[in-house]
């Protein structure tokens, strides 16, 4: 049936007087119902008709003298206003936990060997993140960095409990060496804290938020690690407050703390690798990496 033209009359009997006639007022009412129905579908609202609107009779089954049947429209199942949740991302490789100077030195030598092997194909990226106890007593100075995470592959992530081990010279040399670029969100702040707490100049650095704005075809924004993870991987980066704001100065980190710390460093490395593989966007950006102040 075309809107605006009266439908051909239908008959259920042999008498022409039994024909159902569709007048202009009924047609106008029908068009109003159809317009409201289409608007409701666009808004993804339940599409049953309002009780105040009289439904259209069926000309095929309605005979003179018989009441017009109601328009049978079943409301769709109510879905509610629930935000779709992504699957959580989690580092699934081996977590190398170091809490003594000798353990940190051994892990650092392993990382340096891997960098030497990989750097022939270009600069090596190193996912870099820090954790420290967030709360102090009033008047006390901020807590020192307690944990450092380094990741450069899918299979291994190094979680160094430097609150207990300190920063051995070989680790300081790795962090200050230009053979690997340290990557993360707001990484310049982390580098500044490492300098204030341990006199280590972490360099060179690349802020993933800066890199994302240079690569992604969308308005620049200040990305968090969680929001950038959702954007790139369509997965959720868990940030439970009882872990994130927990005691990173504990004698031994819990399994939950180790998993949280390793995942942050791993996803920083992974996002950098993905973003680096994308072509530059048209936004004018500086090509130099960020260096610590």
**Reduced to 3 states, what is the DSSP secondary structure of residue 277?**
coil
Residue 290 within a domain? no
Same domain for 30 and 129?
no
Among 25-39, 46-60, 272-286, where is mean pLDDT lowest? 46-60
33 and 99 belong to one structural domain: no
Of 48, 76, 104, the position where a domain reaches its end is 76
| Per-residue pLDDT tens over the stretch 107-125 | 999 999 999 999 888 889 9
Please indicate whether residue 93 or residue 11 has the higher confidence score (pLDDT). 93
Per-residue confidence (pLDDT) for residue 165, from 0 to 100: 98
Quote the radius of gyration of the chain (alpha carbons, Å): 32
CA atoms within 13 A on the CB side of 279: 3
Same domain, 72 and 99: no
Domain identity same for 57 and 167: no
Q: pLDDT confidence of 53, banded at 50, 70, 90?
A: very low
63 and 30, same structural domain? yes
Query: What is the domain extent for residue 148?
Result: 94-276
Residue 207 pLDDT greater than 50, yes or no = yes
Q: How far apart, in whole angstroms, are the C-alpha atoms of residue 51 and residue 68?
A: 16
Q: Are residues 106 and 237 in the same domain?
A: yes
Query: Residue range 186-192: average pLDDT?
Result: 96
What is the total count of domains within the chain? 2
140/265 same-domain check: yes
For residues 62-70, give the mean pLDDT.
Answer: 43
Q: What is the CATH number of the domain that holds 265?
A: 3.30.420.10
Residue 271 and residue 182 share a domain? yes
pLDDT, tens digit, for every residue of 250-293? 999 999 999 999 999 999 999 999 999 999 874 555 444 444 44
Do 110 and 222 belong to one domain?
yes
pTM as predicted:
0.68
Residue 88 in 3-state DSSP? Answer: strand
Q: How far apart are CA 117 and CA 125, in angstroms?
A: 13
Same structural domain for residues 66 and 145?
no
User: What confidence category does residue 134 fall into, taking pLDDT thresholds of 50, 70 and 90?
Assistant: confident
At 87 the pLDDT is: 93
Of 33, 29, 11, 7, nearest to 20 by C-alpha is 11
Shared domain for 20 and 123, answered yes or no, is no
């Amino acid at each position: 049936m075309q809107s605006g033209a009266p439908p051909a009359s239908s008959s259920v009997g042999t008498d022409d007087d039994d024909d159902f006639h569709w007048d202009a007022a009924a047609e106008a009412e029908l068009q109003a119902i159809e317009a409201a129905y289409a608007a409701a579908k666009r808004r993804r609202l339940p599409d049953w008709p309002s009780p105040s609107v009289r439904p259209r009779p069926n000309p095929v089954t309605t005979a003179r003298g018989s009441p017009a049947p109601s328009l049978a429209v079943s409301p769709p199942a109510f879905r509610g206003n629930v935000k779709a949740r992504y699957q959580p991302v989690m580092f699934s490789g081996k977590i190398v936990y170091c809490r003594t100077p000798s353990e940190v030195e051994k892990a650092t030598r392993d990382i340096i060997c891997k960098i030497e092997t990989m750097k022939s194909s270009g600069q090596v990226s190193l996912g870099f993140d820090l954790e420290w106890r967030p709360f102090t007593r009033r008047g006390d100075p901020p807590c020192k960095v307690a944990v450092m995470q380094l990741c450069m592959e899918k299979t291994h992530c190094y979680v160094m409990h430097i609150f207990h081990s300190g920063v051995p010279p070989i680790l300081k040399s790795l962090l200050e060496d230009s053979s690997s670029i340290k990557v993360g969100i707001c990484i310049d702040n982390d580098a500044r804290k490492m300098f204030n707490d341990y006199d280590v100049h972490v360099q060179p650095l690349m802020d993933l938020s800066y890199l994302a704005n240079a690569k992604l075809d969308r308005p620049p924004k200040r990305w968090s690690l969680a929001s950038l993870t959702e954007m790139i991987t369509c997965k959720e980066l868990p940030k439970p407050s009882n872990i994130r704001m927990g005691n990173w100065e504990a004698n031994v980190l819990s399994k939950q703390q180790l998993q949280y710390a390793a995942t942050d460093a791993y996803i920083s490395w992974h996002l950098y690798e993905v973003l680096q593989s994308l072509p530059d966007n048209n936004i004018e950006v500086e090509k130099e990496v960020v260096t610590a102040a």
